Amino acid sequence: MYLLQPLSYARTTGKLLLYRRRSSLGPTMTSCLPDMQRQAGRHILVRRVCALRPNLSVPSILFLLLTLVARQGFAQYGGGDGTSGTPYVISTAAHLETLSQTSSDWDKHFRQTENINLNGVSLSDMNFSGVYDGNNLTISNYTITGTSDDRGLFRELSSSATVQNLTLHNFNISGYSRVGALAGKAAGGSTISNVDVTSVTIDGNFDSGGIVGECGGCTIENSSVDAMSSIDCGNSGGGIVGKSVGSSTYNNLSGNAQMSGS
């Protein structure tokens, strides 16, 4: 807090005298020097603007910087700090956009707190290695067009990634190779658990699946693709996984999609 040093006034022999009291606050600001002007026999005090000079220590500056960084993270998402105990909160399409554009957060923890509609939203490719907990909620109406490889909500789930407790509804995903609603490919060590895909359309030429295009040693469990979904897999594909590579693990899966392709 900055306090002006108080002034006291006294009159003697027709002159206006100013006395400056001492401030016990130390050099928190430069002096405020008054000017005296005479107008119509009166003394008018004109105060100049004081230039503030804060005494901020290095620890204080660091604290302010850390506070700003924390507030920035809070503003980008709906709350949290990205740790397992306090994951970042995803509650809007804008939060998902932020995630897709912030590669430094792809290894963090996230928890969805509202159903999210991605109609008209374009996400950047994500090589996700963190934890995404859908909290038994839905992401809907996402569209990807074109003929690129590795198409899905996530481009790739890396070896430490986990996606769980999530429903993907009414996705329309097109690509060339490795196309799926959730991810184009899932690396060994990644886990997909309790993910349901409903009313999606997948269109690819090679390795197209309802959930993942290519599973390279990943684990998929307690997940499903419903009968309202359709998969045009071109030359190769499957109802849940387009192509399985390495030692993959599948438990309690249900795939009922309408399949087409050569």
Domain chopping of the chain, boundaries: 82-260
pTM: 0.74
Helical (H) or strand (E) element with 115 = none
Span 49-53, mean pLDDT?
A: 43
CA angle 71, 73, 79 (to 5 degrees): 90
Q: Residue 75's pLDDT band (boundaries 50, 70, 90)?
A: low
DSSP state string for 143-185 = EE-SS-SSBSSEEEE-TT-EEEEEEEES-EEE-SEEE-SSEEE
Residues in the chain: 262
Looking at per-residue confidence, does 258 or 12 come out higher?
A: 258
